[in-house]
Structure 1
């Protein structure tokens, strides 16, 4: 039975559903092609060559009562299986290793193709802060390396 009064809603509701499908295709494309800020400089740490990459340029966010900043860490040289545990933090000095072991944040996790870390960070960055990576090998050797903060984070 046909409607006698073709209102605006009845006339264009099919086109509206097509727009919803089109938007979902655009968002799906964006999720498959993310854009990240440039990675920090690669540094050598014994046989490991490490490259940290921040996942965004936003300020640290609060998670479980602490402020954190997300990174992806790539090992360009060396075998990540030789690492017992690794921690990342941001601040003027690295967080002591014993204190890191008591926390559940700041621990590198993932696969050898790319490790993810929620680096412990202060609420606001200062010029004295650095990005610190501490690695412990299976033999008990500990090594620490640092990077300066990107200038965009200090503005």
Structure 2
């Protein structure tokens, strides 16, 4: 038993020393927001903010599945954002639909926020990804990216 342990303890030590190098390499290979292989959509402005969404999963979204998105808010006053949601549909959501289960609520820091957007079971040909930002004064700002042209 001692002969076996003496032989393998060096292998275990080498593995423990090399394992952090693996995690360092994978961390350095990631993008600035932690996403590898993300689909970057065209930057647009919504109200005073310049936004750039990224889809971490399959793009365009598959019907009935959840889409993981990150949105970078590059310019504009982040403290004025009350609610920001991502939805998939034919039109922008109304005020009463902002906190519905069909909307992906953006959460995170001031610059980079993420959402888990549920895709409807039937996605029409003219559907779009809608970003809706509500300010503290109650005003809504909408912007969309068409799914078909992506």
Asked if Structure 1 and Structure 2 have the same fold, meaning a TM-score greater than 0.5 normalized by the shorter chain, the answer is: yes
Distance 2:9 2:38 in 1: 40
Q: Kindly tell me: are residues 26 and 126 of structure 1, through their superposed partners in 2, closer, same or farther at Cα, counting changes over 3 Å?
A: farther
1:13 paired with 2:8, answer yes
Q: Kindly tell me: are residues 10 and 102 of structure 1, through their superposed partners in 2, closer, same or farther at Cα, counting changes over 3 Å?
A: closer
Partner of residue 25, structure 1: 21
Q: State TM-score, norm by structure 2.
A: 0.72
- Report the count of equivalent residues: 143
Q: Kindly tell me: are residues 132 and 73 of structure 1, through their superposed partners in 2, closer, same or farther at Cα, counting changes over 3 Å?
A: same
Partner of residue 33, structure 2: none
CA shift, 1:60, in A, is 6.1
Q: State TM-score, norm by structure 1.
A: 0.70
CA shift, 1:102, in A, is 4.0
Equivalent positions of 1:5-154 (< 5 A) are 12-17=7-12, 18-19=14-15, 21-34=17-30, 35-57=36-58, 67-103=65-101, 106-122=104-120, 127-149=125-147
Structure 2 unpaired stretches of 5+: 31-35
Larger radius of gyration: 1
CA shift, 1:58, in A, is 6.9
Q: Kindly tell me: are residues 22 and 73 of structure 1, through their superposed partners in 2, closer, same or farther at Cα, counting changes over 3 Å?
A: same
Calculate the aligned-residue CA RMSD, in Å: 3.3
Identify the range of structure 1 (124-133 vs 86-95) with the bigger mean alpha-carbon deviation: 124-133
